[in-house]
């Protein structure tokens, strides 16, 4: 952990020092700024607060929105809501998993992609839908996944 990370965490801790039971909000803020709440961050927060490492780890493993590892450069969200599921969202998710060799919640070894399965992206009329970073792809077919991912592999995004 470098000095910049320590400064960021100290700033968050100072901001919430007068809040009753701020563990969750501290962890959310650290992740919002640093991208994840890794072991070294949890250890540092435990040293500086009344929370044990076990308590902090319990929080980040209970809530699925927390990441213990740095996310990939590109975040892929695959909708599994009703409309997307009915129109093949599960097949799209399986194809992405196969091509990237990761499961939802995972990150590729090269840290280029992270994958999330989400309940709804609010684009039911375009189902099945995936979102990569802030770009939405509608009516996605498994056969198009490689082409879509290659846009991000080649550095054009």
Tell whether 149 and 83 lie within a shared domain. Answer: yes
pLDDT digits (tens, 9 = 90+) for 1-31: 899 999 999 999 999 999 999 999 999 999 9
Instruction: State which residues form the domain around 52.
Output: 3-62
How many domains does the chain divide into? 2
Q: pLDDT at residue 134 above 60?
A: yes
Q: pLDDT at residue 64 above 90?
A: no
> Domain for residue 137, yes or no?
yes
For residue 156, what pLDDT is reported?
47
Tell whether 26 and 58 lie within a shared domain. Answer: yes
Tell whether 113 and 48 lie within a shared domain. Answer: no
Q: pLDDT at residue 65 above 90?
A: no
Q: Mean per-residue pLDDT for 29-52?
A: 96
DSSP one-letter code for 126? G
The CA radius of gyration of the chain, in Å to the nearest whole number, is: 18
CA pair distance 24, 106, nearest whole angstrom? 22
Query: In this structure, are residues 93 and 104 in contact, taking their beta carbons and an 8 Å threshold?
Result: yes
> Domain for residue 96, yes or no?
yes
For residue 155, what pLDDT is reported?
55
Tell whether 109 and 138 lie within a shared domain. Answer: yes
The answer to whether the Cα torsion of 148, 134, 72, 118 is positive or negative is: negative
For residue 87, what pLDDT is reported?
96
Q: Where are the beta strands (DSSP E) in 84-126?
A: 113-118
pTM of the full structure: 0.77
């Amino acid at each position: 952990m470098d000095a910049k990370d320590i400064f960021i965490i100290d700033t968050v801790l100072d901001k919430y020092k007068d809040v009753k039971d701020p563990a969750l909000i501290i962890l959310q803020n650290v992740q919002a700024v640093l991208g994840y709440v890794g072991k070294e961050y949890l250890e540092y927060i435990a040293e500086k607060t009344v929370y044990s490492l076990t308590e902090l780890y319990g929080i980040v493993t209970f809530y699925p929105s927390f990441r213990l590892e740095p996310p990939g450069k590109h975040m892929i969200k695959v909708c599994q809501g009703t409309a997307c599921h009915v129109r093949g969202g599960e097949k799209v998710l399986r194809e992405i998993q196969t091509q990237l060799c990761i499961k939802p919640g995972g990150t590729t070894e090269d840290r280029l992609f992270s994958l999330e399965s989400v309940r709804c992206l609010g684009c039911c009329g375009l189902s099945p839908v995936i979102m990569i970073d802030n770009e939405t792809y509608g009516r996605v077919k498994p056969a198009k996944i490689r082409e879509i991912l290659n846009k991000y592999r080649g550095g054009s995004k």
